[in-house]
Amino acid sequence: MRALKVAGLLALGVMAGCVEKKKDGGGTTPPAPAPASAAAPAPAEETVLFGVYGSMTGAEATFGISTKQGIDLAVQELNAGGGVLGKKVKTIVYDDQGKPEEAVTTVTKLVTQDKVHVVLGEVASSRSLAAAPICQNNKVPMISPSSTNPRVTETGDYIFRVCFIDPFQGTVMAEFAAAHLKVKNVAIFRDKGSDYSMGLADYFQKAFEVRGGKIVADESYSANDQDFKSQLTAMKGKKPEAIFVPGYYTQVATIIRQARELKMEMPFLGGDGWESSKLFEIGGKALDGCYFSNHTSNDDPRPELQAFIKKYTEQFKEPPDSLAVLGYDSAMLAADAIRRAGKLDRTAMRDELAKTKGYKGVSGTVNIDEQRNATKPAVVLKIQDGKASFVTSIAP
């Protein structure tokens, strides 16, 4: 362990030495004259740097991996088309392991050390909330592809997202439960350590009660819990017709399996946090008859989306999920904002992002509102036989 560390440091030292040597021309040749176009003392930046942070490992690994794959596809296309303002785009990607502390560490690195022009991430709202202040304080635009908690963009005027927010998503599922499933008594099972889960549960409750529904039980779990049977048993006693679980896929799938073991046969309802191929691997047949809201559905025939699905599947040997689509859109919107600004400047880019109207993304049309959020419709999907199919789309 110790030997490895020393070796790592040495390697870094050598690399740093190389860079230094190049810079001063080894001390023998005079420095090259500045290019005529560079009016400012700082050298013109040759590469557009996209900083990416996400959960590439851990219980939410598919969130980070899918998002990164979507971003990779966007960057490949940008570079194949000559880059942005004639400059190549490069991504610098860090794994935050699904931990807010690591989100802070990695984004600090991206912003202060790597000096990226824009930060893309995170998926989970708690991690976006942890890292957004770093981008804001350093005036580096951050675009979250898929964090839906409203507080994320409230951090400040450099923080944007390309997805809808949870007051809307909660209303979508409440409306669906009341009008489509026609249920009156619903239980809520929330992750008490997740800003996303806590917020979405509250928005759902409010909207469901407005529609005449009743929350008959409100239970909670924590990130590392594996056994949910005592809370499930407590909910079962209240005879809910459906149970709303606004959590992330690993735990949601386990919760529903355990519920079926307890002979609880009602539909479970959830939000975008269910979105993962792993949901089906873990949950299997237990998920049949459950519903969740989401950003996109691969059943949607829009040609932009179908073309993306084809390209993505060819490259990654699996169809994209909504995270991949939103990752792609966040990167493409970043490039679009730089083009509109006409220069590689973080503040000019921020100003252009704020003005985004009618941007044609693969996930849909992105209109950035006053709060730097995108207003978009949501889809509701039904799970049957290991797949989620389109049921309805609900517009804001």
- Interacting residues toward ligand PHE by CB under 6 A: 63, 123-125, 146-149, 196, 272-273, 275, 322-323
The answer to whether 157 and 191 have CB atoms below 8 angstroms apart is: no
Min dist CB 343 to ligand PHE, Å, is: 32
Nearer to ligand PHE, 117 or 295 (CB): 295
Tell me which DSSP letter residue 238 carries: T
Nearer to ligand PHE, 202 or 241 (CB): 202
Nearer to ligand PHE, 125 or 258 (CB): 125
Closest alpha carbon to 120 in 92, 79, 83: 92
CA distances from 95 to 54, 136, 379 (A): 5, 21, 29
Min dist CB 260 to ligand PHE, Å, is: 23
Beta strands 378-384 and 387-394: pairing type? antiparallel
Residues 319, 20: Cα–Cα separation, whole Å: 45
Q: How many CA atoms lie within 13 Å of 145's alpha carbon, on the beta-carbon side?
A: 35
Nearer to ligand PHE, 110 or 162 (CB): 162
- Give SS3 for 288: coil
Residues 312, 298: Cα–Cα separation, whole Å: 12
Nearer to ligand PHE, 194 or 236 (CB): 194
Min dist CB 86 to ligand PHE, Å, is: 34
Nearer to ligand PHE, 70 or 240 (CB): 70
Min dist CB 62 to ligand PHE, Å, is: 9
Torsion of CA 293, 301, 83, 342, to 10 degrees: -70
Nearer to ligand PHE, 54 or 240 (CB): 54
Structure tokens that stand for 40 in this block: 């400012």
Min dist CB 132 to ligand PHE, Å, is: 12
Min dist CB 44 to ligand PHE, Å, is: 37
Min dist CB 147 to ligand PHE, Å, is: 4
Q: What is the largest CA-CA distance in the chain?
A: 83
H-helix or E-strand containing 15? helix 2-23
Residue with tokens 């036989």: 385
